[in-house]
Structure formats: C-alpha cells, structure tokens
Amino acid sequence: MQTNLRGRDFISDLDFSKEEVETVLDVAWDLKRKRALGIPHPYLRDKTLAMLFFYSSTRTRSSFEAGMAQLGGHAAFIESRTTQIHHGDTAKEIGEILGRYFDGIAIRHVDWGIGNKYITTVAQHSRVPVLNMQCDIYHPFQILADLMTIMEKKGRNLRGKRLVVSWAYAASYLKPVSVPQSLILQMPRFGMDIVLAHPPEFPLMPDIVEEAKSLARKYRVGFDIVDDMDAAFKDADIIYAKSWGPLVVTTDPEEGKRLQDKYKDWIVDARRMALAKEDAIYMHPLPADRDIEVTSEVLDGPQSVVYDEAENRLHVQKAVMALTMA
C-alpha cells in the first residue's frame, strides 16, 4: 500500500502509479463496505471541497457532493456562469484564491483545447489538491470506477481479459474523447488486452494513442485498432462502447454531425453482444442515447453493469479525496 498521496493532484490517469491506483481501490472497497454496514467514516471532518463546473453533470456532481458529506466534510457547488470567471477571474486567480478558501478543488471543464490547460494552470497556483472531474483529454475518476467494477465482476487478476473500447453512434451531441482516452491509458497497466474500434474519422489524440501503445508494450498486453465493430466484439470479455466526437478531425459541429451520421449502424445490440464471450459485461459511463447508441435490451439486460459502475464513482472518489485531502 502506498501512503504518499496526501496533497497530490489527480488530473491525468497516470498521475498515480499502478501501485497508487491499487491503494485507491483498496480504500474504495473499504469505504464501500463501511457504507453498506452503516459504519461512519468521517475522515474529512470540517474539510471543504470546491466543485467548479464548466459543463453539466448528473453523476459527477451528485457523487462528489454525497461523498464529501459521507466523509464528514462539505462540497460547494460552483457553476462557472454564476461566477466572475467570465468577467476577469483567471485560472491563476481561481487556484490562488480557492486554494486558500478550500481544502481541495475539483474542476470539470471539457472544452476542446481548453479544459486540461485550465485545470493544470489552476493546480500550478493552488496550495491544495486539484482533482479532474473530466477535461477534454482525461476522465480519470470514471476510469477508476470502471476498473473497480471490472475487478468486482472479473476478479483482481485481469491479465488476458479482452477489453473492447468502441465508438458508438449517438444523435445528441459530439461527445468528448476523454473516456476512451483514459481507458486506453489506464487499463493496460492492469493486464488487459485492448481493442480500440472506431470509424476512420473518429481517431483519438495521436499522442495519447502512442502513449497507450507504449504502456501496452511495457505491460506485455495486446493493443489493436480496428474499424469494424463486429470484429472488435468477437470473444471480448468487456464491452465498453460509447460515442465521441470527431474532434481530432474537425471541431465544426455541422461537419462533425455529418460524419457522425454516416455510422448510424454502430449500435450495441443483442446480436453484437452475442459475438462477445457468453459472460461478457457491457459498460457505459452514462448517460447513453437509448436505442441509438445502445439498445434498451442490452442497457437493461443481464450483461449490463452500468449501475454498479455508476455507484462505484462514489467510492473511488471518496477514496481519492480521503487520501489526498486528509
């Protein structure tokens, strides 16, 4: 167990070593057990967390607020449009000032080319830990919850398990690339073979893909990229299929929508799930575009673990906050 996390930022998935991630998971399971047994665990009594949102949220806001309360502290929800950020407060000032008011700062900012830079700048000027609730590049807390869920369903030894990270069609909007990017960075460290599937116009950031390939080599796991959803699903242990925008190719919403609409057949349905192993699980960070991105039959079916996955956001976030903010 690693015990050197106090005061640390968590912005990129790789900010914590593999051993430190294992510590987070150990603490998360302990906190999950305590909550199930009704055992109080106020490790952050009288501590406060600033939660600064530039992007809407359901699970992230709810789980961070509930988590801080369960840890004995308080989370302050700050919607960027209700602040003076648009009237002159810079990232430096947010870091300097909120870092003096609060014991931790959590930020969600997914604007392409802006979010990660903003969070990193705040961290450079903050005297307290800065936590990334999702940016344009990474979504580290979601992936910790995903890893926890996979281990609960497939065991702690994941070597040789085949994880499919697949693009899927969605009609709602051009979604961030942060979830698939964080998945391909974190999961090779835990022994999983990665299959990344997407249409040609929907690549991830080249430097992230190269970093993921390097990690796959280091941990001696497979890493394949395909443009065929059916081929990707074959013999998979874990199906993680969601939409993301063609942001690496174009940031024009109309062009992005045109590209997206070319691939309406990239949907997770029972036929595709049958291509995977019989005991394969289906994962999605939610919200999903029902019957567009994934059929209700799959989303609500016995192979879906999306609600366990959503619950585990609470536990991993509490673990990181307890370890970094105590």
DSSP H or E segment with residue 135: strand 130-135
CATH dotted code for 13-139+313-325: 3.40.50.1370
pLDDT greater than 90 at residue 172:
no
User: Model confidence at 139, in pLDDT bands (50, 70, 90)?
Assistant: very high
Q: Work out the average pLDDT over 281-303.
A: 97
Reported as a single tens digit per residue, the pLDDT across 40-70 is: 999 999 999 999 999 989 999 999 999 999 9
pLDDT greater than 90 at residue 104:
yes
Reported as a single tens digit per residue, the pLDDT across 151-160 is: 999 999 999 9
CATH dotted code for 142-309: 3.40.50.1370
Say which residues have a Cβ less than 8 Å from residue 102's Cβ, sequence separation at least 6: 48, 49, 50, 76, 128
3-class state of residue 30 by DSSP: helix
Q: What does pLDDT average to over the chain?
A: 97
Tell me the CA distances in angstroms from 294 to 66, 249, 301, one per residue in order: 29, 24, 11
Q: How far apart are the first and last CA of the chain?
A: 17
Residue 86, pLDDT score: 85
Reported as a single tens digit per residue, the pLDDT across 197-243 is: 999 999 999 999 999 999 999 999 999 999 999 999 999 999 999 99
Q: Which residue has the tokens 């940031």?
A: 251
Closest listed residue to residue 186, CA positions, set 121, 227, 240, 251:
240
Residue 171, pLDDT score: 87
Q: Please, is 36 exposed, middle or buried when counting C-beta atoms within 10 Å of its C-beta (0-12, 13-18, 19+)?
A: exposed
pLDDT greater than 90 at residue 265:
yes
CB atoms within 10 A of CB 33: 12
234 token code pair: 């074959």
pLDDT greater than 90 at residue 173:
no
Residue 56, pLDDT score: 87
For the chain, what percent of residues have pLDDT higher than 90?
96
- Do the domains at 13-139+313-325 and 142-309 have one common CATH topology? yes
User: Model confidence at 255, in pLDDT bands (50, 70, 90)?
Assistant: very high
CB atoms within 10 A of CB 4: 10
User: Model confidence at 123, in pLDDT bands (50, 70, 90)?
Assistant: very high
Is residue 272 within 8 Å of 233, Cβ to Cβ?
A: yes
The domain ranges of the chain are: 13-139+313-325, 142-309
pTM of the predicted structure, to 2 decimals = 0.97
pLDDT greater than 90 at residue 132:
yes
